[in-house]
């Protein structure tokens, strides 16, 4: 049985849409006849709505409310209040405007009508934190508690998503701490869990549609419920840390709550497992700490203290300040423990799961590895078990979430669906990840006497048209004429007869024939055969640099990573000599672009060659107009048996 004392905070709450229009009536209910209207900078429109609703009741206005209720601001507002002879306070705005109203009420005993426009929840608490000369003094008094709170969803529609996220998590933090604080009780628990579920459900809906009034309504209700939790149950490590960082390092209020909450949850988790389970259920997540973290990241909210401007050198001091005065918290507070928590928050790390996870994962990995143990093909067994070990390690190391894995599967699925004989999206994926080049390095570094290989790329098409020596494979496409004169030899330099050489390349705009909608049939690709001199010659055009296809999942990935899509200009060769290893390679134009940042990592120094500018008649007597280029090269291929 749980024993408790519950003190209800006696505020009147008016909730709805357009409720600000009833402000005059709310003021009169409190006996007010002369209103001082308070707001913060940037809240002019909301203050205007309140002014219109209050009409002649407004005798003065003060629009200078500031974060953390600086005493000098309160003193200026006090002067306005006295001068006007106000007998009632109405504030419109976030926690800053509410704080100013509470500070004035404490000094004068005047009644307050508070209209919150964020989810900070201060309006439901008797607590006031005031700053003076950089120091914060927090006190709690029934005199600070507003008599009436008017929640108007309409006034929150202008709150940007980013502020809605941080303010919503600020509300969630009040609810979380109430669940394990010393002053909790069953009624507070229920409101806290409702508030957490409302925030977790509403923020993603708001991200999808900023004008979703139901989502706004849920968030404002959560703010109210969470505010009452904060008022009734008190706080622990999380709020202490937020105040410490806000006071000592000037970090912004709601953002600091947002960054710290997952880490405080992770810290307290071992000592409050039941509470964590209830929070996780309210979040709809498997684990409370990572559930909050994932919610924040999915909404683009802040995750690291570093990004909020916290100096790394301040972490030790912050940890010491947070534990210097004892206060109730589910888990014992140690400087080292809090320092670790702050370091994770500073780096923006996703909180670790429960310690048991490592053991469970290790067992799972061994179970899957064992399932391949009886594979008859030993190489297949090694490939599969190695793959499993690396993938499991990757999942653990990156602390992969379900939605990230679902996204990866969707990416691979779409990559497969887009692949066809003329669109090799999977080859492209392998290329841009550098895997094609890694396999290529492993395979071909073993044959140093041969011409280096390069990736196949996604544009090879089986069975290109046969071409005669000296023919033109450009199909009359425009471009700088290119005379190609290459020789195929073995590693001793002996020319090789009857070698099949497939060539393919992009046009002067960087497109392959399979990408040209108007192009019927193959062009800029051909199959030629060497004679006894190992030589072959043909006309083509100078290839241009080009982007790899950007309209598929691989293009999306490159764009998301801020990588350019370009390949350095090159000519592809696939050389199949009887009794020799097939050589797939490329020759890169030495004065071309992107040689040092080729997006598929295909460039190797020995493959960068001069495409020499020439004028006048070509080697076969043809006289191209203007400049043409000459490519001469010798390929050395390795015998099949080394
Ligand atoms: P805030 O009042 O400073 O508002 C944050 C920003 O949002 C401001 O720039 C404000 O102009 C803007 N804004 C507010 N409403 C808006 C709207 N509807 N549309 C567009 N912009 C809007 O900050 P906050 O996070 O609401 O409150 C933080 C302050 O409240 C801190 O000083 C904190 O200490 C205090 N607080 C006190 C308690 C308590 O119980 N005493 C509880 C929570 C917060």
Index of the ligand 1 atom closest to the CA of residue 127: 41
- From 95, 99, 137, 164, mutation site for ligand 1 pocket: most ligand atoms within 8 A of C-beta: 95
Residue 269 and residue 276: Cα distance in Å, rounded? 6
Average pLDDT over residues 303-320: 96
Q: How confident is the model at residue 354 (pLDDT cuts 50, 70, 90)?
A: low
Please report which confidence band the pLDDT of residue 642 belongs to, taking 50, 70 and 90 as the band edges.
Answer: low
Residues at CB less than 6 angstroms from ligand 1: 40, 42-43, 67-68, 93-97, 99, 117-118, 120-122, 125, 127-129, 155-156, 158-159, 163, 167, 230, 253-254
Q: Per residue in 445-464, pLDDT tens?
A: 777 789 999 888 888 998 99
What does the pLDDT average to over 359-374? Answer: 89
275 has a pLDDT exceeding 80 = yes
Cα 512 vs. chain centroid, distance in angstroms?
35
By alpha-carbon position, which residue is closest to atom 9 of ligand 1? 42
Per CATH, the number for 1-158 is: 3.40.50.1970
Instruction: Report residue 198 as tokens.
Output: 């409302």
Q: In the predicted model, what is the mean pLDDT of residues 264-279?
A: 95
pLDDT average, residue stretch 337-359 = 86
Q: 435-636 has which CATH code? A: 2.60.130.10
The fraction of the chain above a pLDDT of 70, given in percent, is 99
- The CATH number assigned to the domain with range 161-347 reads 1.20.1090.10
Residue ID of nearest Cα to ligand 1 atom 14: 94
Q: Which atom of ligand 1 is nearest to the CA of 69?
A: 32
Report which ligand 1 atom has the smallest distance to the Cα of 125. 40
Q: What pLDDT does 224 receive?
A: 97
| pLDDT average, residue stretch 75-79 | 98
Give pLDDT, residue 456.
87
Predicted confidence at residue 490, as pLDDT, reads 95
How confident is residue 392, by pLDDT bands cut at 50, 70 and 90?
very high
The yes-or-no verdict on residue 114 having pLDDT over 80 is yes
Is-contact 540 470, C-beta < 8 A? Answer: no
| 156 CA: nearest ligand 1 atom | 18
Label residue 290 exposed, middle or buried (CB < 10 Å: 0-12, 13-18, 19+): buried
**Which of 94, 157, 238 best tests ligand 1's pocket when mutated (most atoms within 8 Å of CB)?**
94
Judge whether residue 191 has pLDDT over 70: yes
| Separation CA 583–CA 603 (nearest Å) | 15
Residue 379: pLDDT over 60? yes
**Residue 356: its pLDDT value, please?**
64
How far, in Å, from the CA of 276 to the mean position of ligand 1? 28
pLDDT at 133: 81
- Phi, psi for residue 112 in degrees, rounded to 5: -125, 140
Q: Tell me the pLDDT tens digit for each residue of 594-613.
A: 999 999 998 999 999 999 99
The arithmetic mean of pLDDT across residues 116-131, rounded, is 95
> Which pLDDT does position 5 carry in this prediction?
85
Q: How far is the CA of 376 from the CAs of 182, 379, 382, 384, in angstroms?
A: 62, 9, 11, 12
CA gap 211, 209 in Å, rounded: 5
SS3 201: helix
Model pLDDT, residue 553: 97
For a pocket test of ligand 1, which of 68, 101, 122 has the largest count of ligand atoms closer than 8 A to its C-beta?
122
Structure tokens that stand for 613 in this block = 């500018």
Range name among 287-301, 394-408, 412-426, 439-453 with the lowest pLDDT average = 439-453
Mean pLDDT across the stretch 621-628?
93
Taking all residues of the chain, what is their mean pLDDT, rounded to a whole number? 93
In the three-class reduction of DSSP (H, G, I as helix; E, B as strand; rest coil), residue 397 is classed as helix
Q: What pTM did the predictor assign?
A: 0.68
- The answer on pLDDT for 406 being more than 90 is yes
Q: What is the mean pLDDT of residues 274-284?
A: 94
- Mean pLDDT over 481-488 rounds to 98
SS (H, E, C) 96-123: HHHHHHHHHHHHHCCCEEEEECCCCCHH
Question: Considering only CA atoms, which residue is closest to atom 22 of ligand 1?
Answer: 159
Backbone angles phi, psi at 243, to 5 degrees: -65, -40
pLDDT score, position 451: 94
Closest CA to 97 of 20, 136, 39, 138: 39
If pLDDT is split at 50, 70 and 90, which confidence band does 520 have?
confident
Q: Which residues of 207-218 are buried (b: 16+ CB within 10 A; e: fewer)?
A: beeeebeebbbb
Confidence check: pLDDT of 412 > 90: yes
> What is the mean predicted confidence (pLDDT) over 222-234?
93
Rounded mean pLDDT, 157-179: 97
User: For residue 171, how far is its CA from the centre of ligand 1 (angstroms)?
Assistant: 11
What contacts 518, CB < 8 A, 6 or more positions away? none
Which residues make beta-bridge pairs with 321? none
Q: How far apart are CA 563 and CA 501, in angstroms?
A: 33
Q: Mutation test of ligand 1: which of 69, 102, 225, 253 has the most ligand atoms closer than 8 Å to its C-beta?
A: 253
Are 72 and 87 in contact by the 8 Å Cβ rule? The answer is no
Report the alpha-carbon distance of residue 95 to residue 229 in Å, rounded.
16
Q: Are 100 and 47 in contact (CB under 8 A)?
A: no
Report, as an integer, the average pLDDT of 513-518. 84
State what percent of residues in the chain have pLDDT above 90.
81
| Ligand 1 centre distance from Cα of residue 523 (Å) | 65
Spatial separation of the C-alpha atoms in residues 576 and 111, rounded to whole Å: 92
């Amino acid at each position: 049985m749980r024993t408790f004392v519950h003190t209800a905070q006696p505020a009147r709450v008016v909730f709805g849409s357009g409720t600000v229009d009833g402000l005059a009536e709310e003021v009169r209910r409190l006996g007010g006849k002369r209103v001082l209207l308070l707001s913060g900078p940037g809240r002019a429109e909301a203050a205007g709505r309140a002014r219109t609703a209050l009409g002649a009741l407004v005798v003065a206005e003060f629009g200078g409310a500031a974060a953390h209720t600086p005493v000098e601001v309160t003193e200026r507002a006090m002067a306005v209040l006295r001068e006007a002879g106000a007998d009632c306070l109405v504030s419109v705005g976030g926690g800053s405007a509410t704080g100013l109203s509470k500070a004035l009420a404490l000094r004068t005993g005047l009644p307050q009508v508070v209209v919150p426009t964020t989810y900070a929840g201060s309006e439901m608490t008797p607590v006031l934190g005031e700053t003076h000369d950089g120091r914060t003094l927090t006190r709690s008094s029934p005199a600070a508690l507003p008599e009436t709170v008017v929640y108007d969803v309409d006034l929150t529609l202008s709150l940007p998503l980013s502020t809605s996220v941080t303010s919503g998590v600020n509300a969630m933090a009040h609810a979380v701490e109430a669940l394990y604080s010393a002053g909790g009780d069953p009624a507070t628990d229920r409101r806290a869990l409702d508030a957490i579920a409302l925030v977790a459900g509403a923020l993603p809906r708001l991200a999808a549609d900023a004008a979703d009034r139901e989502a706004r309504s849920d968030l404002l209700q959560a703010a109210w419920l969470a505010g009452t939790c904060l008022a009734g149950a008190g706080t622990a490590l999380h709020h202490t840390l937020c105040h410490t960082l806000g006071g000592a390092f000037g970090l912004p209020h709601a953002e600091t709550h947002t960054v710290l909450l997952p880490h405080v949850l992770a810290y307290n988790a071992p000592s409050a497992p039941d509470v964590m389970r209830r929070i996780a259920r309210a979040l709809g997540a498997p684990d409370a700490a990572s559930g909050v973290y994932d919610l924040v990241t999915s909404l683009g909210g802040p995750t690291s203290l570093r990004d909020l401007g916290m100096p790394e050198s301040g972490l030790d001091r912050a940890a010491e300040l947070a534990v210097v005065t004892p206060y109730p918290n589910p888990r014992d507070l140690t400087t080292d423990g809090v320092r670790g928590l702050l370091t994770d928050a500073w780096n923006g790390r996703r909180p670790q799961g429960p310690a048991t996870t490592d053991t469970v994962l290790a067992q799972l990995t061994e179970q899957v590895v064992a399932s391949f143990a009886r594979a008859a093909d030993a190489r297949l067994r090694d490939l599969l078990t190695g793959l499993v070990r690396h993938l499991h390690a990757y999942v653990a190391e990156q602390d992969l979430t379900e939605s990230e894995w679902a996204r990866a599967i969707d990416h691979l699925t779409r990559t497969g669906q887009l692949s066809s004989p003329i669109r090799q999206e999977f080859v492209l994926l392998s290329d841009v990840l550098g895997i094609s080049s890694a396999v290529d390095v492993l395979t071909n570094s073993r044959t140093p006497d041969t011409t280096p290989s390069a990736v196949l790329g996604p544009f090879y098409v089986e069975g290109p048209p046969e071409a005669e020596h000296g023919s033109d494979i450009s199909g009359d496409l425009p471009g700088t004429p290119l005379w190609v004169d290459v020789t195929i030899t073995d590693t001793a330099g002996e020319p090789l007869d009857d070698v099949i050489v497939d060539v393919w390349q992009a046009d002067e705009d960087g497109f392959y024939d399979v990408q040209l909608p108007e192009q019927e049939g193959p062009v800029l690709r051909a199959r030629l055969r060497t004679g006894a001199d190992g030589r072959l010659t043909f006309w083509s055009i100078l290839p241009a640099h080009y982007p790899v296809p950007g309209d598929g999942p691989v293009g999306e990935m490159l764009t998301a990573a801020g990588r350019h899509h370009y390949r350095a200009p090159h000519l592809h060769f696939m050389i199949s000599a009887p009794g020799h290893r097939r050589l797939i390679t490329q020759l890169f134009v030495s004065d071309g672009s992107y040689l040092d940042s080729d997006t598929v990592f295909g460039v190797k120094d020995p493959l960068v060659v001069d495409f020499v500018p020439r004028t006048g008649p070509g080697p076969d007597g043809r006289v191209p107009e203007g400049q043409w280029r000459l490519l001469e090269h010798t390929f050395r291929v390795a015998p099949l048996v080394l």
